[in-house]
Amino acid sequence: MISFIFKRLLQSIVVMLTVALIAFSMFRFVGDPINNMVGQDTSQEEREALTERLGLNDPFIEQFGRFVLHAAEGDFGISYKYREPVSKLIEGRLSATLELSFVSAVLALVIGIPAGVYTALRSKGILSKGIMTLSLIGVSLPTFLIGILLILFFGVVLRWLPTFGRGDVVAIGWWTTGFLTASGLKSLILPSITLALFQMTLIMRLVRAEMLEVLRTDFVKFARARGLPDRAVHFKHALKNTLVPVITITGLQLGSLIAFAIITESVFQWPGMGLLFIQAIADVDIPIMAAYLVMIAFFFVIINMVVDILYYTVDPRLRADSAT
């Protein structure tokens, strides 16, 4: 197990380095940052001087090396636009994005899994057919449109919920949370729904497909033959076996929540990393972009590791293998 985790860690580092490299080599093409760092009547000489001082003229590999070395110490450089250390900027945004993703993830799972199970067990039923179709509408609309329509309806027409931002947040160390204030919680509702919809559908369909598979297996039939009541068959045996494969994909899905948050955050002006990133792309704020992508990769490898470990704990067969 230990050696396994260690191996995974090594892999993760490789993955992150690759991501960093790819990302970094792409930035050189996304545009010239200088224009956003100076006003309109700044002269060419000054612009060039700035470029030089930023080391943007150094050979690529040198820039990359510098980046990796600093990143290793958690220093992602200074944002061109905000002239603050990127690490501080991200620090300030991290909690917003994570809380949003977390709530959405919970929503997606809490609704997705039971719905999937239900539609699998009652696969012929009218209701489950309804659920299936309804869930599709969720993924048939672009996220941003869903967001805006929600704002229009609940924010402008009904005036029930806030249309933007996080509301009041409480700071716990560098972590700010919206969970502790009424307005914070209210502001969470619309964005998290917008963000969760897509994943919810995916998870639900996945669970359904897997469940149908498992229900066909012999051991389910045998469990029935042993006289076990449906409840036991479905939830004790079938569901548990369903979740094994579901774990991996769900893990990845939830990981991508953090990235998908980009859209949701810009629609709701949610002060998270995604918003920071999309802003950074427009302003060609390379340090922020680099940091963000590495963060994303980081989250993914973490999630992947958690998933694998879960796997080991859930599935005895794997445990046996790892033992040998």
Partner 1 sequence: MADTQTIEKTRLQRFFGSDIWYSFTRHPVAIVSAIVTVVMILAAIFAPYIAPHNPFNLASIDLMDASLPPAWYYDGDPKFLLGTDDQGRDILSTILFGARISLLVGFSSVIFSMVVGIALGLISGYVGGRTDAIIMRIADVQLSFPAILIALLIDGVARGIIPKELHADISIYVLIFAIGISGWVQYARTVRGSTLVEKSKEYVQAARVIGIRPFTILRRHILPNVMGPVMVIATIHLAIAIITEATLSFLGVGVPPTTPSLGTLIRIGNEYLFSGDWWITIFPGITLVVLVLAVNLLGDWMRDALNPKLR
Partner 2 sequence: MKLRTGLLVAVAAAAIAVAAPVKAEIFKFAFQGDLSSLDPHSLNESFLLGTLGNVYEGLALYDKDMSVIPGLAESWKLLTPTTWEFKLRKGVKFHEGQDFTADDVIFSWQRAASEGSDQKVRAAGIKNITKVDDFTIVVETPAPNPILIQDLPVLFIMDKEWSEEHGTTNATSATGEDKGNYANLHANGTGPFMVKSHQADVKTIMLRNEHYWKDIPSNVTEVEFTPIKEAPTRVAALISGELDLVYPVPVQDWERLDAAKGVKALAGPEARTIFLGMDQSRDELLYSNIKGKNPFKDQRVRAAFAHAINLEAIKEKVMRGAATPTGEMVAPQINGFVPELNTPYAYDPEMSKKLLAEAGYPDGFEVTMDCPNNRYVNDEKICQAVTSMLAKVGVKVDLLAQPKSKYFGKVLETGGFDTSFYLLGWTPSTMDAENALSSLIVCRNKEEKRGLFNLGNYCNPKVDELTAAIGSETDQAKRNAMIREAFQIVKDDVGYLPVHQQPLSWGVSDRVTVNQRADNGLDYRFVVVK
Partner 3 sequence: MDLLNINHLRIEFPSRHGTVVAVDDVSLTVHPGEVLGVVGESGAGKSTIGNAVIGLLEPPGEMTGGHILLKSQQIDTLNPEAKRKIRGRRIGMIFQDPLTSLDPLQTIEQQLVETIDLHLKLGEKKSQERAVDLLRQVGIPDPENRIKNYPHQFSGGMRQRVVIALALCAEPEVIIADEPTTALDVSIQAQILELMRRLCKDKQVGMLIITHDMGVIADITDRVAVMYHGKLVEEGTTEKILGNPDHPYTQSLISAVPRPDIRLRRFPMVNYIEEEGERAKNIDLSTHWLGRVRDYEALEGPLLSLKNLVMTFVTKPALLKRNRMTFNAVDDVSFDIGQGEVFGLVGESGSGKSTVARMVCSLYKPAAGAVNFAGTDLTRIKSENERDFFRRQMQMIFQDPFSSLNGRMRVLDIVAEPIRFHKLASSSREVEQIVMDLLDHVGLGAQAALRFPHEFSGGQRQRISIARALATRPRFLICDEPTSALDVSIQAQILNLLKDLQEELGLTMLFISHDLPVIRQMCDRVGVMKTGKLVEVSATEDLFENPTAAYTRELLDLMPRLDQLSHKGLEVEAG
Would you say 139 or 244 has its CB closer to partner 3? 244
Binding-residue pattern over the window 274 to 303 for partner 1, x denoting contact by CB under 8 A: ----x--xx----------x--xx--xx--
Burial of 111 (0-12, 13-18, 19+ CB in 10 A): middle
Among 16, 20, 23, 89, binds partner 2 (CB under 8 A): 89
Q: Which does 81 bind (CB under 5 to 8 A by kind): partner 3, partner 1, partner 2, none?
A: partner 2
Q: Which stretch binds partner 3 (CB under 8 A): 79-87, 129-137, 234-242, 278-286?
A: 234-242
Binding-residue pattern over the window 123 to 162 for partner 2, x denoting contact by CB under 8 A: -------------------------x--xx--xx--x--x
Structure tokens at 175: 């972590």
Query: Footprint of partner 1 on residues 230-269 (CB under 8 A)?
Result: 245, 249, 252, 255-256, 259-260, 262-263, 266
Among 56, 148, 161, 247, binds partner 1 (CB under 8 A): 148
Q: Which does 226 bind (CB under 5 to 8 A by kind): partner 3, partner 2, partner 1, none?
A: partner 3
Among 69, 145, 182, 185, binds partner 1 (CB under 8 A): 145
Is residue 229 near partner 3 by the rule CB under 8 A?
yes
Structure tokens at 54: 């930023």
- Measured from the Cβ of residue 136, the count of other Cβ atoms closer than 10 Å reads 11
Is residue 275 near partner 2 by the rule CB under 8 A?
yes
- Measured from the Cβ of residue 73, the count of other Cβ atoms closer than 10 Å reads 8
Binding-residue pattern over the window 174 to 213 for partner 1, x denoting contact by CB under 8 A: --------------------------------x--xx-xx
Least Å from the CB of residue 157 to partner 1? 11
Binding-residue pattern over the window 164 to 203 for partner 3, x denoting contact by CB under 8 A: ----------------------------------------
Q: Which does 3 bind (CB under 5 to 8 A by kind): partner 1, partner 2, partner 3, none?
A: none
Among 18, 42, 217, 269, binds partner 3 (CB under 8 A): 217
